[in-house]
Chains A and B, each alone.
Chain A
Amino acid sequence: MKAYHKVLMIVAALSLGLLFMFPMWKIYLKAPQYPEGLELHIWVNKLGGSSDHVLQNFNILNHYIGMEPIHAESFAELTYMPYIVIAFMITGVIVALIGKAKLVLTWTVLLMVGGAAGILDFYLWLVKFGTNLSPEAPIKVPGMTYIPPLLGHKTLLNFEALSLPALGSLGILLAVVFSGIVYFLSRRSDKANKPVNSNKAFAT
């Protein structure tokens, strides 16, 4: 592995840091009486939004249809996910220092699996909140569930919901792309180097 491969691998590991600077996902809600819109921001370690009180306002609107109130404390993920991300960042740097292509590949695959697991977990939460409705809900529409879209747009009663990955997720994408590049480049250079080494051996 060449020096610049190592640097790129470190960059890949550190780009996960974006997860601590920006939300991973954003859910936008718009309704006739909410012209300014409501935004729920999902971070790796917390829930936030377009204002300090988005969660309370989400919950007020959701309680009419009998949805469980959303509290950051209900999600164990928000407690352990940051450690996983930090672990990926540290191991990523170590992998870069060791400089073995196979380790890079392993790290990349694990990160992709982790990301996919995160998205699956997110989807399962959406289904849980959208379908686990109180039988005492003031507003009941027969057959209606309220699963927000995982990606893209959906109409839920008077609300238009739009769900999109945010800058934090870009961190994961960059990490995967960079480490993938490192793997391919370093594999190629390793291959290119090998015959040189065997020639040398042959010569001696």
Chain B
Amino acid sequence: MENLFSKFKKAAPAAALLMAVVAGAGLQGCSKSGGDGSAMAEGLSSDAASAVYVAPGKHDELYSFLSGGFNGQVSVYGLPSGRLLKIIPVFTQHGENGWGYNEETKAMLNTSHGFVPWDDLHHPKLSRTDGQTDGRWLFVNGNNTPRVARIDLTTFETVEIMEIPNSAGNHCSPYPTNNNEYVIAGTRFSVPLDMKGGTSDVSLEKYGEEFRGSISFIKIDPEKGDMDLDFQILVPGFDYDLANGGKGPSNDWVFFTTYNSEQAGTLKEVGASQNDKDYLAAVNWKLAAKYAKEGKAREMPANYYHNKMDKDTHIAKSTVKKKVRYLLPEDCPGMMYLLPAPKSPHGIDVDPSGEFMVVSGKLASAIPVFSFAKMQDAIKNKQFDGEKNGIPILKYESVLKGEVKEPGLGPLHTEFDGKGNAYTSMFVSSEVVKWKLNDLSVVDRIPVYYSVGHLMIPGGDTKEPHGKYLVAMNKITKDRYLPTGPELAHSAQLIDISGEKMKLLLDFPTVAEPHYAQAILAEKVAPKSVKFYKLDENTHPHAVKKEADVSVKREGNVVRVKMTAIRSHMTPDNIEGIQVGDTVLFHVTNLEQDWDVPHGFAMMGANTAETLVMPGATQTLRWVPKKAGVYPFYCTDFCSALHQEMQGYVRVSPKGSNVPIKFSTGKKKQNIPGVASTQ
């Protein structure tokens, strides 16, 4: 009896929901409220709350790194809670901490086009050792003004940004090989290369003859992670969309989806959608590297910026590179092949075994799965179907393992759980579809809200996925959260994939537009997290390490203020002798040597953002006063009980005034500990 009763109790809400849906359908048009009844409960696991609950003070199991898309930054979320932990500024100025505003970091955003303070960041990729994420660095791409950046995961700071020459729309980027040998970046917008480091001034009618794409091979220093553009391959003028590296047997290969094999230069939505098949490009990167090393590479003039943050001075420096080496596929037999792939493919994903290449063609009705072994045979037996720019095209049937039939509409991207299953996002039918790699049968599907782009399984693009969670990144939010005017947050959804059936666990709003993400077990990153910078190792040329050494010095029109900040005062905090039109450089050193004690510095009227100085570091705020008077400055980060008192004044006199330079803190010597520990 009791059993039956409890069964009925369980079924009752579902029955009620069903009735509500039926009633809702009947009343369509009358109902105004969306959101709280509609699709919410469908697929929601009954124990979802406990599955994502991370108790106060407890840590998440995983770090996830979601790209910010058009905000040019990376957001770090804890999983499974979906709590936002940090936004890492990369390509976009960040007023919050002065990134790209203060004198030390401005150079990070230098390009051959000048200072570019914004970009469109699509794809984060974690560095790898033995085909698994190693938690050392995160590589990300800037799509608009082609750049690749490296974030150091000990500090969660961007430490390097390199411009990619001969590229436009650096979308197919950045893809690390299994031991960080190379990070690979392909161009989405082919352009007419003038072979002198720029694009030629040619008629836009000449797309077919003049436009080319490029694939860049960035060598990574195995110890420090520093990037160096080793060589490029100049490829036919298609749109190179996404890439994925092989593993195991296919370790030496990297695969690229292409669209616009029609080579349309206008109205691409139609022009690039005519061919029934575009291509999957397969490149043997090891062979390419060998060709480049053995003298097949030619050289052309170039002009691109490479910006690096020095870890001891905390100052970014730009160098301009003036040449680049390149390979032509026609010179390099065996290096590159084209595999026909249905209609404008987006995702290319190699399964953990390295044997299957899954191509998600967003306009295709099936998902083709290619076999690496078959590809090797087809190459050996020369099962070609013509060629393009000297690149052999393999026969579709000769490389195909099979197709996933009727998977859904608009397949975009696939990842794997390491247990023989693949998960593909369906943009048009707004769902995630689970299918089996061995027989290509669909076994489960779950709706997502709405229009999912990429999905991510922690390590789902590596040799050993952590097949417990899946994050779907949705492009359209509509009624999922409280409305916030016309612009809505994008949404991510956490799905439990540990069992047979997928279970929806959590919705969480995201910052800007996550295109793709990576996740890694927290234990691979957290223990190495830096707590503060060591003052002893700070070699900034204008750092002062004790209060006794602060100075205010005039050098012509430039006045350098070398000052310190420590709880709860700045030294000096009274400065006189500044004149209208001077360039005042406040070099602020944070003397703290403790965890979580940044000091901010802001100057009234300065035409820049504040700068947030981490313990042990030095940063510089530039200020040009325009009128005589007295100007306050203060600490912007609530550092201590006397944070509000952490402020000072600068007196500005007219140009040519005879007020001498004078500076001080406090009227008499006090027990201030800033001078304490730096012997």
- Give the B-binding residues of A (Cβ under 8 A): 36, 51-53, 55-57, 59-60, 62-64, 66-69, 71, 134, 136, 138-139
- State whether A53 touches B593 (Cβ < 8 A): yes
- Given A63-B671, A134-B670, A136-B670, output 20 extra A-B contacts at Cβ < 8 Å: A51-B593, A53-B677, A55-B677, A56-B594, A56-B673, A56-B677, A59-B676, A60-B673, A62-B673, A63-B673, A64-B640, A64-B641, A64-B642, A66-B671, A67-B671, A68-B671, A69-B671, A69-B676, A71-B676, A138-B645
Chain B positions 639-679 with a Cβ under 8 Å from a chain A Cβ = 640-642, 645, 670-673, 676-677
A-B contact pairs, 12 of them (CB 8 A): A53-B593, A55-B677, A59-B673, A60-B566, A60-B592, A60-B673, A64-B640, A69-B671, A69-B673, A69-B676, A136-B670, A139-B641
Distance between Cα atoms of A56 and B676 in the complex (Å): 6
Smallest beta-carbon distance A3→chain B, Å: 49
Distance between Cα atoms of A71 and B672 in the complex (Å): 12
Asked if B463 lies at the interface with its beta carbon under 8 angstroms from chain A, I say: no
Chain B residue numbers with a CB within 8 Å of A52 are 593
Asked if B115 lies at the interface with its beta carbon under 8 angstroms from chain A, I say: no
Chain A residue numbers with a CB within 8 Å of B642 are 64, 138
Chain A residue numbers with a CB within 8 Å of B673 are 56, 59-60, 62-63, 69
Distance between Cα atoms of A56 and B547 in the complex (Å): 13
Can you list the 7 inter-chain pairs with the closest CB atoms, starting with the nearest?
A53-B593, A59-B673, A56-B677, A56-B676, A69-B673, A57-B594, A59-B676
Distance between Cα atoms of A127 and B583 in the complex (Å): 51
Distance between Cα atoms of A57 and B596 in the complex (Å): 12
Asked if B150 lies at the interface with its beta carbon under 8 angstroms from chain A, I say: no
Asked if B567 lies at the interface with its beta carbon under 8 angstroms from chain A, I say: yes
- Give the A-binding residues of B (Cβ under 8 A): 566-567, 592-595, 640-642, 645, 670-673, 676-677
Identify the closest chain B residue to A68 (Cβ): B671
Distance between Cα atoms of A67 and B670 in the complex (Å): 11
Smallest beta-carbon distance A46→chain B, Å: 13
Chain B residue numbers with a CB within 8 Å of A55 are 676-677
Distance between Cα atoms of A193 and B149 in the complex (Å): 86
**A55-B677, A59-B676 in contact; A134/B593 too (CB < 8 A)?**
no
Chain B residue numbers with a CB within 8 Å of A71 are 676
Distance between Cα atoms of A77 and B621 in the complex (Å): 45
Chain B residue numbers with a CB within 8 Å of A57 are 593-594
Chain B residue numbers with a CB within 8 Å of A53 are 593-594, 677
Distance between Cα atoms of A59 and B642 in the complex (Å): 15
Chain A residue numbers with a CB within 8 Å of B645 are 138
Smallest beta-carbon distance A120→chain B, Å: 26
Chain B residue numbers with a CB within 8 Å of A134 are 670-671
- State whether B671 touches A60 (Cβ < 8 A): no
Chain B residue numbers with a CB within 8 Å of A136 are 670
Identify the closest chain B residue to A36 (Cβ): B595
Distance between Cα atoms of A71 and B645 in the complex (Å): 26
Distance between Cα atoms of A53 and B671 in the complex (Å): 18
Distance between Cα atoms of A68 and B645 in the complex (Å): 21
Distance between Cα atoms of A67 and B673 in the complex (Å): 10
Distance between Cα atoms of A106 and B676 in the complex (Å): 42
**A64-B642, A69-B676, A139-B641 in contact; A56/B593 too (CB < 8 A)?**
yes
Smallest beta-carbon distance B253→chain A, Å: 47
Chain B residue numbers with a CB within 8 Å of A62 are 673
Smallest beta-carbon distance A157→chain B, Å: 11
**A52-B593, A56-B677 in contact; A63/B641 too (CB < 8 A)?**
no
Identify the closest chain B residue to A53 (Cβ): B593
Contact pick for B672, options A36, A51, A63, A139, CB 8 Å: A63
Smallest beta-carbon distance A201→chain B, Å: 68
Distance between Cα atoms of A56 and B592 in the complex (Å): 8
Identify the closest chain B residue to A35 (Cβ): B57
Smallest beta-carbon distance A137→chain B, Å: 8
Chain A residue numbers with a CB within 8 Å of B594 are 53, 56-57, 60
Central interface residue in A55, A63, A67, by most chain B CB within 10 Å? A63
Distance between Cα atoms of A1 and B672 in the complex (Å): 58
- State whether B595 touches A60 (Cβ < 8 A): no
Chain B residue numbers with a CB within 8 Å of A64 are 640-642
Smallest beta-carbon distance B613→chain A, Å: 16
Central interface residue in A53, A55, A138, by most chain B CB within 10 Å? A53
Distance between Cα atoms of A36 and B567 in the complex (Å): 19
Distance between Cα atoms of A67 and B677 in the complex (Å): 16
Chain B residue numbers with a CB within 8 Å of A68 are 671
Smallest beta-carbon distance A128→chain B, Å: 14
Distance between Cα atoms of A64 and B645 in the complex (Å): 12
Chain B residue numbers with a CB within 8 Å of A56 are 593-594, 673, 676-677
Identify the closest chain A residue to B57 (Cβ): A35
Identify the closest chain B residue to A66 (Cβ): B671
Identify the closest chain A residue to B672 (Cβ): A63
Identify the closest chain B residue to A67 (Cβ): B671
Identify the closest chain B residue to A57 (Cβ): B594
Smallest beta-carbon distance A129→chain B, Å: 11
Distance between Cα atoms of A66 and B673 in the complex (Å): 11
Distance between Cα atoms of A62 and B567 in the complex (Å): 11
Distance between Cα atoms of A66 and B640 in the complex (Å): 16
Smallest beta-carbon distance B567→chain A, Å: 5
Identify the closest chain B residue to A134 (Cβ): B671
Chain B residue numbers with a CB within 8 Å of A67 are 671
Distance between Cα atoms of A103 and B672 in the complex (Å): 50
Identify the closest chain A residue to B532 (Cβ): A53
Smallest beta-carbon distance A133→chain B, Å: 9
Identify the closest chain B residue to A73 (Cβ): B679
Identify the closest chain A residue to B567 (Cβ): A60
Chain A residue numbers with a CB within 8 Å of B593 are 51-53, 56-57
Distance between Cα atoms of A68 and B675 in the complex (Å): 13
Smallest beta-carbon distance B670→chain A, Å: 7
Distance between Cα atoms of A55 and B676 in the complex (Å): 8
Chain A residue numbers with a CB within 8 Å of B566 are 60
Distance between Cα atoms of A64 and B593 in the complex (Å): 18
Distance between Cα atoms of A161 and B640 in the complex (Å): 20
Smallest beta-carbon distance B343→chain A, Å: 56
Chain B residue numbers with a CB within 8 Å of A69 are 671-673, 676
Identify the closest chain B residue to A61 (Cβ): B567
Distance between Cα atoms of A26 and B641 in the complex (Å): 27
Smallest beta-carbon distance B666→chain A, Å: 10
Chain A residue numbers with a CB within 8 Å of B640 are 64
Smallest beta-carbon distance A84→chain B, Å: 25
Distance between Cα atoms of A59 and B566 in the complex (Å): 11
Identify the closest chain B residue to A139 (Cβ): B641
Distance between Cα atoms of A60 and B673 in the complex (Å): 6
Distance between Cα atoms of A56 and B564 in the complex (Å): 15
Smallest beta-carbon distance B160→chain A, Å: 29
Smallest beta-carbon distance B569→chain A, Å: 10
Distance between Cα atoms of A54 and B407 in the complex (Å): 61
Chain B residue numbers with a CB within 8 Å of A60 are 566-567, 592, 594, 673
Chain B residue numbers with a CB within 8 Å of A138 are 641-642, 645
Smallest beta-carbon distance A67→chain B, Å: 7
Identify the closest chain A residue to B594 (Cβ): A57
Distance between Cα atoms of A140 and B677 in the complex (Å): 25
Smallest beta-carbon distance A61→chain B, Å: 8
